Chain A
Amino acid sequence: MTMLQGLSILLLCQSAGEAAARLLHLPLPGPVLGMLGLAAALAWPRLRAPVGSAADALLAHLSLLFVPVGVGVMTHMALISQYGARMLLALVLSTWVGLAVTALVLRALLPRPPGAPTPPGTPALPA
């Protein structure tokens, strides 16, 4: 029941976000506005238990939600057979650039890294 209440709150926030985006011609997508609205609304303690249980359930299986779109790659076979190798190269290299830049900038900016500084050569944590 708590989880269903939470799901209703998520859907309400999404609907409010969609309505706001359309009515006010905002550049943000509806779900993003819904997220910002919910983040503010969580100041109200009564929302926390239901939202937490629905959010934890949805986010635990987040990767499942990408499967239907992923299968959609099939429908772009014409583009892929023409540009596939080049698209993949641009995609892989830019993903590595993004990962490396984010990680290096954050490591440089955090005063003390959240984990104690590890000497080089210690086994790395999986991620």
Chain B
Amino acid sequence: MQDFVQLWVYLSATPLFGLTATLGLYVAAQAVYQRLDHAPWANPVLWTVLALAVLLTATGTPYPTYFSGAQFIHFLLGPAVVALAWPLWQRRAQLRQRGWALLAAATAGGLAAAGSAVAIGGALGLPVDVLRSLAPKSVTAPVAMGIAEQLGGIPALAAALAVLTGLVGAISGKYLFNALGITSPAVRGFALGTASHGIGAARAMQVNPDAGAYAGLALGLQVVLASLLMPLVGAWLLR
């Protein structure tokens, strides 16, 4: 027993723990998600995060210790943003043909998401540094962190809010689109990529290839648009 405790103390302090726990729990959550035929509420990100939060709390592992291992996964977000060039390039014909419509929808949707978040949050009396972290929530987490920093928000909170936004879109999007009578997979995918970034796009890629391609396109567009517009509009909105 003593040996076991010592072994745990050793292992839980090495990067191996955070990396193994993240990957292992995600693979398990993904298997359950597939078994449940991609039910929105069974979202693998949601359940992996919850399981890890319970595991870290139960074992008394501090977040920085966990992150020393999980950072190897986190790091890949950067190359993944670069990799968005691939779906953009593959769909270049559609981009050229429907470019203006897609650009207009991405701009309108991105501004509506950020503007309504700040307006609703402000009306509910949230402090300004929380509002500044809430504004870039529809952009993929690593980019949201950079924008929040520029706006004077809290980067780590912005990243967490971006992940929650992705989950909200991935879980509830299907019902919202059905209620609005939006049936085209391309339109549904594009909206998911615009308003709920990578997690919404991942959901779209899992259910329909056409929706997935448009979601990847929207994700890439939103990253560029938000990086350019958000510091200007945000600075003006959040004076």
Contacts and interface: CB of A to CB of B under 8 A. Distances in A.
B1 to A, nearest CB: 29
Interface in B137-177: 137-138, 141-143, 146, 150, 156-157, 159-166, 168-169, 172-174, 176-177
A52 to B, nearest CB: 6
Contacts of B82: 10, 13-14, 17, 31, 34-35, 38
B159 A113 contact: no
Contacts of A52: 86
Interface residues of A, number: 77
Q: Is the interface of A mostly helix, strand, loop or mixed?
A: helix
Contacts of B187: 103, 106-107, 110, 113-114
Contacts of B44: 63
**Most chain A beta carbons < 10 A, residue from B56, B87, B146:** B146
Nearest to A12: B82
Contacts of A99: 109, 169, 173, 176-177, 191-192, 194-196
B116 A68 contact: no
Given A98-B116, A98-B195, A91 B86 contact: no
A65 B188 contact: no
Contacts of B102: 106
Contacts of A115: 183-186
A92 to B, nearest CB: 5
Contacts of B231: 27
Contacts of B80: 58-59, 62, 65
Classify chain B: how many residues form its interface, as a range: 35 or more
Contacts of B127: 83
22 contacts: A31-B77, A34-B82, A35-B224, A39-B89, A55-B86, A56-B86, A58-B83, A59-B84, A59-B216, A64-B45, A68-B70, A70-B48, A72-B160, A94-B120, A95-B137, A97-B112, A102-B108, A103-B177, A103-B191, A106-B101, A115-B185, A124-B178
Interface of B: 18, 22-23, 26, 38, 44-45, 48-49, 52-53, 56-57, 63, 66-67, 70-71, 73-74, 76-89, 98, 100-102, 104-106, 108-110, 112-114, 116-117, 120-121, 124-127, 130, 134, 137-138, 141-143, 146, 150, 156-157, 159-166, 168-169, 172-174, 176-178, 180-192, 194-196, 198-199, 201-205, 207-208, 210-211, 216, 218, 220, 223-224, 227-228, 231
Interface of A: 7, 10-11, 13-14, 17, 27-32, 34-36, 38-39, 42, 51-52, 54-56, 58-60, 62-76, 79, 83, 86-107, 109-110, 113-115, 118, 120, 122, 124-127
